[in-house]
Structure 1
Amino acid sequence: MKFLNKKTLLAIAMSLSFVGLSQSQAQNHKRKIDGVVGVVGKYVILDSDIDKTLLELKAQKIPVGSLSRCELFEKLLEDKLFAHQALQDSLDVPDAEVNSFMTDQINGMVEQVGSMESILAFYNKKNEEEFREYFFEIVKQNKLTQNMQKHIVDKVTITPEEVRQFYKAIPEGELPTIGDEVEIAEIVVRPEVSKEQKQKVIDRLNEMRTDVLDNGASFFSKAVLFTDDKGSATNGGFYSINKRSPFVKEFKEVAFSMAEGEISKPFETEFGFHIIYLEKIRGQNLDLRHILLVPKPTDEALEEAKKKIESIREKIVNGEISFADAAAASSDDKETKQNGGILKHPMTMDPRFELNNMDDRELYQLVANLNEGEVSQPALKYDYRKQEKTYRIVTVNKKYPAHTMDFAEDYMKIKNLALNKKQGEELQKWVAKKIKDAYINIQGEFRECEFRNNWLKK
C-alpha cells in the first residue's frame, strides 16, 4: 500500500506518460520510424515526445523560461540512459512493484477526474486493459530511472562547511525569497475498533483460508475480490519481497517464518489483519500473495473519538495543558506524539511548511487563518495509505513571514539545496562516463544541438 498525495496524482501520472511515452512506443517503432529522433539502448525517443514534455511542464505551471527543444531532448536522453543502465546493473523493478505503484496512481487519477472512462478518453485507449498495458511500461521505465539515480547518489553526503561555501557563493542580490512559512503541530485521535469488529475480520480471513485449504478455492480470486490492499488487488495480492523490502516488521516476520505453499493464520499489523500465501521461495526472495482486511470503527466509535478530541482541545484552550503535553499524553500518531506533535516534511525533515506550497490542502485550510498558538476546530482526517478515519486538531507553533534566505534561519533549506546540487553534479559525472559505453543514436536536427554531454561521441 503506497501513499501518494491525491491532489498531485494526476499531474504525476500525466508527466510520467509524456516522459515515458517513447518507451511504450518503442515496441511499435517500426511503424513510426519517421518520428524517431534518438535511441539509447533499447529505448526510443520520438520527436513528439519533446513537444508533449514541454506542454506538460507548462500544464503543471513549472517555469520553462527559454528552455529549448535541445535541452528537453537531452533530458529525455538522460532518463533513457539511467533506465538502460539500471537493467545492465540488475537494478530491475519487480512487475509486482510496478503494478502496485501503477494501481495506486490509477486509483488516484480516477478519484481526481471522476471515472475510468474519462482517463481512457484522455489517453485515447479502448479499454482499461489496453491502458494498463500502456501505462505499465511508462511506470516501469520511470522506476528504473529512479532506481539508478538513487543508486548513484545514495553515498553522496555534505558537510556543514560545504553548506556554508554553497551559501557564500550565491550573490547577495540573487538570494531567493522564502514565502510565508508555519511550524505546525497536530494531535490525532483514532476511533477505537472494538474486539467484536476485529474478531469479525479474523473470522472472515479464517473462512477464506479454510476455503482455499479444504475446498481448493482460489487465493488469487479471493484477493482480487476482497482485499483492502487496493494496490495489489488486481494482481491477486501478489508481492515479491526480501528482507530489505519496505514492509512492516510484523509482515516480514510472518512471511519469512513460513514454508513454501503454506497459508498463514490471520495476524495483525498497523494496516489491519492479513493472511499470507507463500507461493515460492527463490533464494533470498519470497513470492507471496496476501489478503488484507481493515476492521472499520462503528459510527459510535467515530463519535466518541470526536468527543475525545473536543475535550482535549477545550483543556488546551483553557490553559489546563500545553499542546505539546497533550500530544505526548493523548495523540495516537506515534511518529509525532513524542515531539510535541510537530509535523515535518517527509523528504527534507524540515518542520517549516511554506503556506502557498503545501500539498495537503486539507491541512492548509486548517492552518491558513490560525494565529500563533491558536488551535483549530476538530477535523476528520482520512489516511489513504492505511484506509482509516481519524480526528485531528492542529496548532501553529510559529509563523515565519516571507524573507530573503538567511543562513542561520534557513539552514535546513540551504543544506538540502547544497546536497541536491552535489547530487546533480554526481549524476552528471556518471552520465558523461556511461555515454562512452552505451549504444546511442541521434538523428535529424538534434545532431546540431549543443549538448552538455558528448551524446554524439565526437
Structure 2
Amino acid sequence: MKLYKLLYVCALCIGITAHAQTPIVLDQIVAVIGDEMIKQSDIENQAIQMKQFGAKDNEIVPCKLFEDMLFQKLLVHQARIDSIAVSDSEVDGEINRRIDMFVGEAGSIQKLETFYGKSELEIKTEWRPLIKEQIMAQRVQSGIVGSIEVSPNEIRKFFTALNPDSIPLIPLQYEYAQIVIKPKLSETEEAEIKKKLEEIRQRALKGENFSKLAVLYSDDTESAKMGGLLGDYISRGELVPEFAAAAFRLKEGEISRIVKTNYGYHIIQMIELKGEKAKLKHILLRPKPSMKTIQQAGKKADSVYALLRDTLKFERAALLYSSDEKTKNNAGKYINPYTNSSKFEAQMIEPTVLHSIKNLQPGAITQPVLTYDETGMQVYKIFKLISVTPEHKATLLDDYQTIKEMALQEKKQKAISQWISNKQESTYISLPDSKYSTCAFKHVWKNK
C-alpha cells in the first residue's frame, strides 16, 4: 500500500552515475512515455547508486525501479502539458539541500566529489535537469493525492476488511509529557541582539546585498545557504503568525522592522508576492543566553520539581510554568508531529528524552534535564512518563492514527492507479521488447 516514492531509497540517488563501479551497459530504449524516454542504463545506474548508498539487495528490484520510472515520466509528461513552472531558485535550493545532506553524512564536499568523480560544479550541473523533473513530477502527484482525506467510517471499513496477516505489528511505544523552562533573557541581552540586528538592517537599507548579509550573519543555517531565501513561494499558514503578519504587509523589495518569534529575532525582505503566496528572505538572530541566565532557569526548574514532589499536579505545573506553548495547555503531553498521536516508538524520540524516560515507571517524573528546544536554545525540561505500550498487533482503539494512515495511503494509491489508467488513454506509450517485458507490474501499462 505504499505510494510511489520518486526519490526512491536515498535522496541523492537521482540517476547520474557515480565514478566508482561505472557499468558497461549495452544501452537500449526500454520505454517511451509521450516525449519522455527511459533507457536501460537509467535503471542500471539507479540500482548501482542505491547499492552504493547502502540499500539492501531486496530493496533493489529492477522491475519496481522500472515501473517507478514509468510513473515518474508519465508525471513529467503531464507537467509539461500543464506548463508547470519550476524556478531556478527552487532547483538550486533542492540541489543545495541534497548536497548538505550528503556532506552531513560523509563529512565533506570532497567526499561527494570523490564519490562521483566530478567537481561540485559538475555535479550540480548534471543534477539540475534531473531534480527539475523530480520537482515537476512531485507537483503533479501532489495535485492527484494532495487533497485526499479519509473519514472515520472509511477507516473502520478499511480495518475490518484487512486480512489478519496484514495487520501491522506495533513496536514498543512511549507516551510522555514535559515542562519546559526557558532561560529568560535580561533586558541587556535582549537589547544587544536587537541592536546587532538593527545594524544589519540599516546596512541592507543602505544598499548592501541582503543575501550576502544573510550568509554572513543569519542563525538560520538552512536558509542562509540560499541567501536567506525561505523556499520558493510560501503561504501564510506555513509561517508562525507574527512572522506572517509582518511579511505579508511588505511591498516587493521592502525590508521589515525587527520581528520577534519563538525562534528569535528576524528581519524579512519581500522578494515577490504572488496571490496568497510570497517569496521571502529573512535574517535570524537567535538569543544566546548567558551562563548566569541559564543557571537562573535551572534554579526555577528545581523549584518547580520541588513543587511536583510535594502536592502540585504535573498538568497544573505545565500550565503555570512551562514555556512551551505547544504542550502547556495539553497537560504537557507531547504530540508526535508526524502521526498526530501522543505515542512514540523509541527511534522517534530524541535521545536525551528517551534516556530520561525509558527506565521510569508510568506516572513517574524526572529531575530537571538541561537540553535544547526546537530553536536550538538551551532549556531545562522535566519529563513525565505517561504510559508504555508493549509490542502488539494494531487495534483500531489503540492505534487509530496508524490505521488511519494505512487507509489514507490505500486511498491515495487507488487514486494514482486510476490517474495512470486515465492518462494512458491519451498518452503515447511504447514498451519495446526488453529484459523488463516479463515484469509483473502493479499497474497495467498499455503498449501502443
Q: Counterparts of 1:60-139 in structure 2 under 5 Å?
A: 64=59, 68-86=61-79, 88-89=81-82, 92-100=85-93, 103-104=96-97, 106-127=99-120, 129-134=121-126, 139=131
Secondary structure in structure 1 of the residue aligned to 2:180:
strand
2:15 pairs with one of 14, 18, 21: 21
After TM superposition, give the deviation of residue 339 of structure 1 in Å: 0.8
Letter in 1 for 2:214: A
Equivalent residue of 1:419, what SS? helix
* Paired residue type of 1:364: L
Native 8 Å contact 1:382 1:390 kept in 2: yes
The answer (yes or no) to whether the contact 1:192–1:301 under 8 Å persists in 2 is yes
Contact kept? 1:37, 1:47, Cα under 8 Å: no
Equivalent position of 2:196 in the other structure: 204
Aligned counterpart for 2:211 among listed residues 212, 220, 223: 220
SS in 2 for 1:347: coil
1:310 to 297, 302, 307: 302
1:294 aligns with 2:286: yes
Q: Work out the CA distance in 2 between the residues paired with 1:60 and 1:335.
A: 37
Structure 1 letter corresponding to 2:44: S
- With over 3 angstroms needed to count, the CA separation of the structure-2 counterparts of 1:408 and 1:378, relative to structure 1, is same
Matched, 1:343 2:334: yes
Runs of 5+ unmatched residues, structure 1? 1-11, 26-30
Counterpart of 1:368 in structure 2 is 358
Amino acid in structure 2 at the alignment position of 1:399? V
How far apart, CA to CA, are the structure 1 residues paired with 2:447 and 2:72? 18
Change (3 A) 1:245 1:166: closer
Contact 1:273–1:294 (8 Å) recurs in 2: yes
The amino acid across from 1:366 in the alignment is S
* Match in the other structure for 2:4: none
What is the one-letter code of the residue matched to 1:228? Answer: D
Unaligned 5+ segments in structure 2 are 1-6, 19-23
SS at 1:420's partner residue? helix
Shift of 1:349: 0.8
Q: Per the alignment, do residues 299 and 120 of structure 1 end up closer, same or farther by CA in structure 2, a change over 3 Å counting?
A: farther
Contact 1:99 1:231 in 2 (8 A): no
Q: Is 1:55 matched with 2:51?
A: yes
Q: Structure 1: how far apart are the matches of 2:212 and 2:226? A: 9
CA change 1:382–1:106 in 2 (3 A) is farther
Q: So what's the TM-score if we normalise by structure 2?
A: 0.83
Q: What is the alpha-carbon distance in structure 1 between the residues aligned to residue 278 and residue 43 of structure 2? A: 42
Indicate the RMSD between aligned Cα atoms, in angstroms.
Answer: 3.4
Is it true that 1:151 corresponds to 2:143 in the alignment? yes
Aligned to 2:368: 378
**TM-score normalized by structure 1?**
0.81
Distance 1:427 1:103 in 2: 30
Identity %, equivalent residues: 30
* Separation in structure 2 between the aligned mates of residue 142 and residue 365 of structure 1, nearest angstrom: 39
Whether 1:328 aligns to 2:319 is yes
SS at match of 2:383: strand
Residue 236 of structure 1 is matched in structure 2 by 227
Q: Deviations over 1:307-363 (max 9, x none)?
A: 3223323332x24222222212111111111111112221221111223x4253333
CA contact (8 A) 2:175 2:344 kept: yes
CA distance in 2: counterparts of 1:131 and 1:82, whole angstroms: 25
Deviation at 1:141, TM superposition (A): 4.3
What's 1:259 paired with?
Answer: 251
Displacement of 1:15: 0.6
Aligned residues: 432
Q: Distance in 2 between matches of 1:419 and 1:138?
A: 29
Contact 1:263/1:278 (<8 A) preserved: yes
Displacement of 1:74 in angstroms is: 0.7
Mapped contact 1:71–1:451 kept (Cα < 8 A): yes
Q: Does 1:447 align with 2:440?
A: no
The partner residue of 1:388 within 363, 377, 393 is 377
CA separation of 1:101 and 1:54: change in aligned 2, threshold 3 A: closer
Deviates most, 294-303 or 261-270: 261-270
Deviation at 1:48, TM superposition (A): 2.0
Structure 2 CA distance for partners of 1:306 and 1:441, relative to 1, 3 Å: farther
Q: Is the CA contact 1:189–1:391 (under 8 Å) kept in the aligned structure 2?
A: yes
Which residue in 1 is equivalent to 2:242? 250
Q: What is the Cα deviation at residue 423 of structure 1?
A: 1.6
Q: CA deviation at 1:53?
A: 6.5
Q: What secondary structure does 2:362 align onto?
A: coil
- Secondary structure of residue in 2 paired with 1:278: strand
Deviation, structure 1 residue 171: 3.3
Deviates more, 1:160-169 or 1:130-139: 130-139
Q: Distance in 1 between matches of 2:203 and 2:184?
A: 30
